[in-house]
C-alpha cells in the first residue's frame, strides 16, 4: 500500500467512524470477534450457535421466581461478589473445594481473565490453528504473543506437538471447536507432565456431550485450569454463567483480575438460577443423553446423503460434501429458513458446523439437504 492509499484509507475510516480520532492505538489495532448470528426471523430453524435445544431445568425458573418474590425488592441489593452459593454447588458437583473455583459472566469473560492473569508471559502461548477465533482476539487485546499448532490431517489435536516446545502457556477447547473432536485425558496428562512450568487451560464448553472432564486432574497438577460454561449442557446461554476450576493459586490470580475490573460479574438471578441448574443432575443427564442420541442420528442421516462428518463429542457436528460447495449449501439452507455456520477459513472452508437441535429440527435439516443435494444443478 503506498502513501496515497494509506491516506485514503485513513480518511475513509474517519468518515465511517467520526470518533476514531479519539481511539487508542490498542483499539485501532483490534480485530474484534464476530459472534454467531442471532437473526430476528420468524419460523427459523436456528442451528448456528450451539445453544441447547431444551429449556433449562424447571428448578431454574422456580429459583428465579423465589429470588424475585412478589415485588423484586431484592434486586435493589448488590449480589454476593463471591457467589458463594454457586461455588458451593459447583464444588459438590465436581468434588473440589470452593477455593479451587472461580465464577464469572460466562466462560468468555472467565477466559478473558485467564489470558490476562495466567497467559501473558515472555514466551508465546500455544493453541491449535483451527479453534475458537476469539483466542487470537484476546491475544490482541491483552498483548499476548501466540503461536498456532496445526491440527493433524484428521483434525485432531496431537498432544506430542505441545511437548518439548517452549511456551508461555497452552490453551485449547476439549472437545475442540469447531471440529468437535475429543482429546482423551491420557493425552492431556502427557501435556501437563511435559509442561510443568506452564499453565495448561482446557476449555470444556462441550465436554458434557460425550467427553470426560479434566477437573478430576486438578488435584494432581497445579498447572491445570479447566473452564466450563452453563450455556450449553445446562441451557443457560441467555444468563451468562461460567466457571474455572484449578489450584487455589491460579484461582487467586483470576480473582485479582476480576476485582480490578468488575467485582460483581454475576447478578442475583444468575446466581440462584445457576445453583438450581447445577443441582438438578437428573434433568442435566436426561438432556445430555437426548442431545447425544440426536447427534448420532443426524450424523448417520447426513452420512447417508454423502456427507463426511467428523467424529464429534459436542452438541454440534462439522460436515462437508465432496460434490457441493459449503458456502452454497449454507446459502441454500438459509433460503429454506435454516441457519448453520460456515467459516471462510483455511482447511475448513468446505465444512458446515451444524448445531444439534431438536429431533424435529434435525429431521427438517436432513430433508432440506436431501432436496438441495439431489436436485439438478
Q: Where are the alpha helices (DSSP H) in the chain?
A: 3-16, 25-29, 58-68, 84-94, 106-118, 134-142, 185-194, 248-258, 268-279, 281-304, 326-335, 359-374
Query: Which tens digits make up the pLDDT trace of 18-52?
Result: 568 889 988 888 888 777 777 777 789 999 999 99
| Entry pTM | 0.92
> For 226-262, how does the pLDDT look when each residue is reduced to its tens digit (9 = 90+)?
999 999 999 999 999 999 999 999 999 999 999 999 9
Average pLDDT score over the chain: 93
With cut-offs at 50, 70 and 90, classify the pLDDT of residue 2: very low
Instruction: Using DSSP, state whether 76 is helix, strand or coil.
Output: helix
Is 90 exceeded by the pLDDT of residue 7? no
Q: What's the pLDDT score for residue 17?
A: 57
Q: Is a pLDDT exceeding 50 seen at residue 198?
A: yes
- Residue 357 binned pLDDT confidence (cut-offs 50, 70, 90): very high
Quote the pLDDT of residue 10: 42
* pLDDT the model gives residue 19: 64
Per-residue pLDDT, 3: 40
- Cell numbers at 87, concatenated: 461455588
The set of cell numbers assigned to 359 is 429431533
pLDDT digits (tens, 9 = 90+) for 156-181: 999 999 999 999 999 999 999 999 99
Q: In which element (H, E) is residue 225 found?
A: strand 224-229
Whether residue 334 is predicted with pLDDT greater than 80 in this model: the reply is yes
Return the pLDDT at 200. Answer: 98
Residue 13 has pLDDT above 70, yes or no: no
175 preceded by cis ω (within 30°)? yes
From CA 149, how far away is CA 146, in angstroms rounded?
Answer: 10
Provide mean pLDDT across the span 135-140.
Answer: 95
Taken in order of first residue, the domains within the chain and their CATH numbers are 45-55+282-374 (3.90.1150.10), 58-279 (3.40.640.10)
Q: What is the 3-state secondary structure (H, E, C) of 80-135?
A: CCCCHHHHHHHHHHHCCCHHHEEEECHHHHHHHHHHHHHCCCCCCEEEECCCCCHH
Nearest to 216 by CA among 327, 96, 134: 96
Amino acid at each position: 500500500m503506498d502513501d496515497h492509499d494509506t491516506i485514503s484509507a485513513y480518511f475513509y475510516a474517519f468518515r465511517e467512524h467520526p470518533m476514531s480520532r479519539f481511539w487508542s492505538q490498542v483499539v485501532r489495532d483490534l480485530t474484534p470477534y464476530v459472534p454467531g448470528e442471532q437473526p430476528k426471523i420468524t419460523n427459523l430453524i436456528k442451528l448456528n450457535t450451539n445453544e441447547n435445544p431444551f429449556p433449562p431445568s424447571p428448578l431454574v425458573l422456580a429459583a428465579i421466581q423465589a429470588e424475585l418474590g412478589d415485588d423484586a425488592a431484592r434486586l435493589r441489593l448488590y449480589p454476593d461478589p463471591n457467589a458463594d452459593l454457586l461455588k458451593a454447588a459447583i464444588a459438590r458437583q465436581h468434588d473440589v473445594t470452593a477455593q479451587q473455583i472461580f465464577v464469572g459472566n460466562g466462560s468468555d469473560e472467565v477466559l478473558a481473565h485467564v489470558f490476562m492473569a495466567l497467559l501473558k508471559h515472555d514466551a508465546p502461548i500455544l493453541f491449535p490453528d483451527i479453534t475458537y477465533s476469539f483466542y487470537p482476539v484476546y491475544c490482541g487485546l491483552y498483548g499476548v504473543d501466540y503461536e498456532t499448532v496445526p491440527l493433524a490431517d484428521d483434525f485432531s489435536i496431537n498432544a506430542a506437538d505441545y511437548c518439548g516446545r517452549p511456551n508461555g502457556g497452552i490453551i485449547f477447547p476439549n472437545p475442540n471447536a469447531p471440529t468437535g473432536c475429543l482429546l482423551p485425558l491420557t493425552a492431556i496428562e502427557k501435556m501437563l507432565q511435559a509442561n510443568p512450568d506452564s499453565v495448561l487451560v482446557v476449555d470444556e464448553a462441550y465436554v458434557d456431550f460425550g467427553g470426560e472432564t479434566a477437573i478430576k486432574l486438578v488435584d494432581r497438577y497445579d498447572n491445570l485450569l479447566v473452564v466450563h460454561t452453563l450455556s450449553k449442557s445446562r441451557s443457560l446461554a441467555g444468563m451468562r454463567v461460567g466457571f474455572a476450576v484449578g489450584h487455589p493459586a491460579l484461582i487467586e490470580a483470576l480473582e485479582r483480575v476480576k476485582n480490578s475490573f468488575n467485582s460483581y460479574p454475576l447478578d442475583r438471578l444468575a446466581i440462584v438460577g445457576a445453583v438450581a441448574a447445577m443441582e438438578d443432575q437428573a434433568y442435566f443427564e436426561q438432556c445430555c443423553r437426548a442431545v447425544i442420541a440426536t447427534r448420532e442420528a443426524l450424523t448417520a442421516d447426513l452420512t447417508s446423503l454423502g456427507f463426511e462428518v467428523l467424529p464429534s463429542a459436542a452438541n454440534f457436528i462439522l460436515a462437508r460434501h465432496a460434490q457441493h460447495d459449503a458456502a452454497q449449501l449454507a446459502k441454500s439452507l438459509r433460503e429454506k429458513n435454516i441457519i448453520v455456520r460456515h467459516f471462510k477459513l483455511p482447511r475448513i472452508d468446505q465444512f458446515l458446523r451444524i448445531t444439534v437441535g431438536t429431533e424435529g429440527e434435525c429431521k427438517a435439516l436432513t430433508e432440506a439437504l436431501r432436496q438441495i443435494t439431489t436436485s439438478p444443478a
